[in-house]
Structure 1
Amino acid sequence: MTTADAVRRRLGLGRLLPLGEAADGAWLAEQAAETVLRSVATGVPGVAPGRLRLALVDPDAAGPPAVPPPPSALPPGPLRIEADFAAVAWEPLPVAASVLRASLFTAAENLLDLRVSEVDLLVTDVLDAGPEIAQGAPPPEVQPAAPKGPVGWAASGAPGVAHLTATLGTAVHFAPDHVRVEVATASGHRPLEVVRAVREAVTAALADGRPVSVLVTAVEA
């Protein structure tokens, strides 16, 4: 893989969002979250989702992470979903917005384990006919990485891990003060449960007390 390919993969992840609480030492790629949330939004009747982003509600109030974070990761703190959408003319806009907001809140909590406290919606168009959902560009492909060494095999065997990934360089990054593991979660498993299982397995394999952080780069449907 060339340097340019590596940069494109890294940028394709979007922001690295804090997953769970600070003590969980976990992050979720914005692109992975956006794929799940967009799928949910597309299922809301009479709504055509547009731009969708996630960010910290208050970056200045975010707390320090419990373990060294991945490069450019956001610190732990409540998140805001910002979404644009078009809606059909015969549905009252407040009703459509309310259903969409509730769907995004529920998906963020129950499917992604993200601490979302705000959902900001912007109506960009009113449609005379039912929305035609644009397919748009597919999300960047996250390539599986083969497990290597005791730590890699321990992480890949944790419940709910679909496979390891290596978007930031290697699937398992060893540093003197921590170890970082990249994974994709399997369908039917909540990301935070997978993260905790990975941390437990890797901690046991390390046996040297180094803290473990986990980056989830993909959430399989």
Structure 2
Amino acid sequence: MTMGDGWATAVRDRLAPGRLLPLGSVAGAWLAERAARQVLGRAAAEVNGVAPGTVRIGAAGEATVPEPPFPVPPGGLPPGPLRIDAEFAAVAGGGPLPETAGEVRAALLAAATELGLAVTEVDLRVTDLLVEAPAPEPAGPPPGHPAPPTDDPVAVAVLRVPGVTALTNALGRPVHRTPGAVRVELAVAADHHPAEVAHAAHQAAEAAAEAGAAVTVLVMEVR
């Protein structure tokens, strides 16, 4: 992958959140695949002699997942085990490929666990052998703009949760209401665990929403 290819991929990732991935055991919370890819890509890049390529996350295997007792947002995967498919280029002479692949797999699994993703499968593909390590790619596009200020009680409550850096509007209004349901979009600080922040935000939103409303929390960015 060239520097130009990397930049184009970064731009596409910024424009498309991708699928919404269930955040482990946190009921009613999802993480944008785009945000997960960025974190996983950085983790793979820390492996010596590796240039990360495409990373995709989806449902693992063909296991039947029972219908959850809360609404799954459009584009969201139902709660269940996940699979990472990742490509990378390796520097020739940097060590045996099986060992390098093992390090990449371990780095991806560790990063996924930190994010709160229930990853059970990692499939790797070596796309190229490099003569030397590539130069660092330019920084990707800046994070999306936060949603404008609002006095919505759900928004106010969620913004008070430690680790929530902003509300976002990638999929529409930051607080989206339908009959009997409330959906909240937010960004999480990079030094916080997204699943823990999402759980706290879910509780805060439930307390501030209309009685009985089903709350969905979408973590769209990890900044």
TM-score category by the smaller chain? 0.7 to 0.9
- The alignment partner of 2:197 has SS state of helix
Asked if residue 144 in structure 1 is aligned to residue 160 in structure 2, the reply is no
- Within 5 Å, give how 1:19-34 maps onto structure 2: 19-21=23-25, 24-34=27-37
CA RMSD of aligned residues (A): 2.1
Q: 1:42 to 1:109 in 2, by over 3 A?
A: same
Aligned length: 210
Deviation at 1:89, TM superposition (A): 1.6
Separation in 2, partners of 1:152, 1:40:
32
Asked if residue 108 in structure 1 is aligned to residue 112 in structure 2, the reply is yes
Separation in 2, partners of 1:148, 1:59:
44
Partner of 1:18: 22
Q: 1:179 to 1:10 in 2, by over 3 A?
A: farther
Q: Mind listing any 5+ residue stretches in structure 1 that lack a counterpart? A: 1-7
Asked if residue 55 in structure 1 is aligned to residue 54 in structure 2, the reply is no
Separation in 2, partners of 1:148, 1:63:
37
Separation in 2, partners of 1:100, 1:144:
33
Separation in 1, partners of 2:85, 2:163:
29
Deviation at 1:204, TM superposition (A): 1.3
Partner of 2:183: 180
Partner of 1:122: 125
- The alignment partner of 1:61 has SS state of coil
Contact residue 155 and residue 198 of structure 1 kept, 8 A? yes
Q: 1:9 to 1:69 in 2, by over 3 A?
A: farther
Separation in 1, partners of 2:142, 2:170:
11
From 82, 86, 89, the equivalent of 2:92 is 89
Match for 1:105: what amino acid?
L
Partner of 1:67: 70
Q: Which range moves more in the overlay, 63-72 or 114-123?
A: 63-72
Separation in 1, partners of 2:121, 2:174:
33
Separation in 2, partners of 1:135, 1:41:
17
Contact residue 27 and residue 73 of structure 1 kept, 8 A? yes
Deviation at 1:64, TM superposition (A): 2.2
Deviation at 1:207, TM superposition (A): 4.8
Contact residue 161 and residue 197 of structure 2 kept, 8 A? yes
Per-residue CA distance 1:126-162 (angstroms, 9 max, x = gap): 12222334448x2573221123321111111112110
Q: Which range moves more in the overlay, 138-147 or 25-34?
A: 138-147
| TM-score in terms of structure 2 length | 0.87
- Within 5 Å, give how 1:141-220 maps onto structure 2: 141-145=143-147, 146-220=149-223
Separation in 2, partners of 1:207, 1:54:
34
Q: Mind listing any 5+ residue stretches in structure 2 that lack a counterpart? A: 1-11
Contact residue 15 and residue 73 of structure 1 kept, 8 A? yes
Q: 1:185 to 1:59 in 2, by over 3 A?
A: farther
Identity %: 50
Separation in 1, partners of 2:62, 2:162:
33
Separation in 1, partners of 2:222, 2:32:
9
Per-residue CA distance 1:91-138 (angstroms, 9 max, x = gap): 10001000000000000002x1100001100011112222334448x2
